[in-house]
Amino acid sequence: MSLKIAVAIATAGRREVLADTIRWMARQSRPAQELLVCPARPADLDAACLEDFPWPTRVVSGPIGLPAQRNALIDATDADLVVFFDDDFLPADDFLQQAEDLFTTQAGVMIATGDVLADGILGPGLTHEEGVQVLSRAAARDMPAALTPTFNAYGCNMAIRMAPVRAHGYRFDEHLPLYAWLEDVDFSRQLAPHGLIVKWTALRGVHLGTKRSGRSPGKQLGYSQVANRVYIMRKGRMSAWQAVNGNLRNIMANLVKSLRPEPWVDRRGRLEGNFIALWDWVRGRVDPERILRF
């Protein structure tokens, strides 16, 4: 059975990176039926990169913010399988073929996420050329694939079976604004009652973790690191232990690294945001959307 597959990319502030990613996407051994791109602003997409793209393409309009843009992409397609990629994720050439094989043979799988061979989000970020080198080295190795359950998909690459999403009206939560820290957890757990959330290492790729321009202000992200976990916990999609443990890990990392911060991370800003969110939590006022008022 063949599936109708749509690749969906929500993007903001990475015009050149997105263009490189789209050109790379054309290498897929199994083409998607369509490529959908939702830019936060018209200037975030260089339309020229779509002109010679070998699949049907559409530009989708939506409100600014990752969840809102992803919801707009969901609404724009009737595909059986929607594969969300970040605008700086480079999939291996057989990613879509492996995704189709998995979802046609494993009816119980609702969401699958792949093996991120390198993740630039953990450091200063990778260039497109560095990402390609990682993929080239991986392609030369015989790597046995493993299918394992996981709590949530990683938002930079997740393939979603759309039938239950449409049947139950599931959405990305737009109360998690802007970059929407942990929106992938929240969305994944909606589908957990219907089947499996898995990591399938035959789905391979590189997340460049591109930084937009220099060191971005950390106060908003620091607030989201704490507030979003509390919000998702209150919705019943994360345990109290997961929320507290995750918050402690982020706060301790920001505290320790603020002594000698990395050039590309505003650790002190993140720490400030962490403590504002903690104080709001104590007072019963924690709200993910407060970052819009900073």
Reduced to 3 states, what is the DSSP secondary structure of residue 80?
coil
Say what the pLDDT of residue 216 is: 53
Note whether 98 and 32 are within 8 A (CB). no
Place of tokens 């930084």: 211
Please name the residue ranges forming H helices in the chain.
15-25, 48-51, 66-75, 95-105, 128-139, 162-168, 183-191, 219-234, 240-257, 267-282
Say what the pLDDT of residue 217 is: 73
Reduced to 3 states, what is the DSSP secondary structure of residue 192?
helix
Confidence at 81, pLDDT banded by 50, 70, 90 = very high
Note whether 242 and 185 are within 8 A (CB). no
Give φ, ψ of 58 to 5 degrees: -145, 140
User: ∠ CA 273-68-190 to the nearest 5 degrees?
Assistant: 85
Tell me: pLDDT of 5 over 80.
yes
- Helices 267-282 and 240-257 pack at an angle, to 10 degrees, of 140
Say what the pLDDT of residue 1 is: 67
Tell me: pLDDT of 210 over 60.
yes
Tell me: pLDDT of 270 over 50.
yes
Tell me: pLDDT of 214 over 60.
no
User: How confident is the model over 210-223, as a mean pLDDT?
Assistant: 76
Handedness of CA 42, 44, 48, 50 (dihedral sign): negative
Exposed e or buried b for every residue in 88-108, given b needs 16+ CB within 10 A? bbbbbebbbbbbbebbeebee
* Distance (Å) of CA 20 to CA 27, 48, 53, 270: 12, 11, 12, 30
Please give the radius of gyration of the chain, using alpha carbons only, rounded to the nearest integer.
19
Tell me: pLDDT of 212 over 70.
no
Tell me: pLDDT of 291 over 60.
yes
User: How confident is the model over 16-43, as a mean pLDDT?
Assistant: 97
- C-alpha 284/C-alpha 204 separation (Å) is 42
Confidence at 179, pLDDT banded by 50, 70, 90 = confident
Domains detected in the chain: 5-207 (3.90.550.10), 219-289 (no CATH)
Say what the pLDDT of residue 142 is: 79
Please name the residue ranges forming H helices in 106-154.
128-139
